[in-house]
Amino acid sequence: MNYSEYKRTKKQWRELVLIWSAFCVVFGLLFYKHVLGIIFMFPFIYFFEKYDRKKQITKRKVLLGEQFLEALHVMSASLDAGNSLEAAVKNCASGLSTLFPPDAFIIKEFDAMKRGLACNMNVEDLFMDLGKRSGVAEINEFAEVCMVSKRSGGNIVKVMAHTVKVMDARKSMEREVRAITSEKRIEGHIMDILLPGLLLYIDVTMPDMMSYMYTGIIGRGMMTIILVLYFMCFLMMEKITNVKV
């Protein structure tokens, strides 16, 4: 499984189209108050799909990284007990079943590595393969360190302990950053609904004032500019709150 690629099921495609259709109806009527406004919004589903795809890939990688850290803790305990790295991977494949559901990414990956070891594949090559497919920096770094340590005869127990310590510190910092940006993210969501809510309020309470914005080239042009600025602000807020450590 390549974690940098995301393929939707038919059900997910239906949900995506349904969400975007509702969005087109609401914003098409709110900004243009015309059926052509709704039709105008539909082609932008391409950009919405790309944005959502990127978001889903990022979410999946973050989840895999957190699960992999838990797997390292399990392997580290097995290595401390005197097992080899290969045995630690096999034990980890069984131990993770108590921490995650059967369909968890890390469960599937360690089951695959267990099968690979049964076919006499090198454990370091298996980790390198996972690192390349995952696109997760921490897994790539561990795989490279693991390969160097195994092939140079290094102390894998100390290497594992140091790696777990470094990754724990990094994940702790990521959690702190997410906690700090969560307030800004909430503010961003409030801003997302502020403009549509304001337009709806003015249209309902002062329809004569808004009627000029829904007729003529100038009025519709102004509404288009407002809509574009709205989307630019949305993307800017997403970028600000999506801080990478």
The pLDDT score that the predictor gives to residue 106 is 92
Neighbours of 196 (CB within 10 A): 14
Residues of the chain short of pLDDT 50, as ranges, are none
The pLDDT score that the predictor gives to residue 31 is 87
CA dist 86 and 93 (Å) reads 11
> Would you state the torsion angle of the CA atoms of residues 165, 169, 175, 178, taken in this order, to the nearest 10 degrees?
-140
The pLDDT score that the predictor gives to residue 87 is 87
CA dist 78 and 245 (Å) reads 29
The pLDDT score that the predictor gives to residue 109 is 92
Which residue type sits at 185? Answer: R
Q: What is the pLDDT of residues 192-235, one digit of tens each?
A: 788 888 888 888 888 777 777 788 788 888 888 988 888 888 88
The pLDDT score that the predictor gives to residue 105 is 92
Pick from 228, 243, 239: nearest CA to 188: 239
Neighbours of 45 (CB within 10 A): 17
Question: How far is CA 205 from each of CA 9, 23, 201, 210, 213, rounded to the nearest angstrom?
Answer: 43, 23, 6, 10, 15
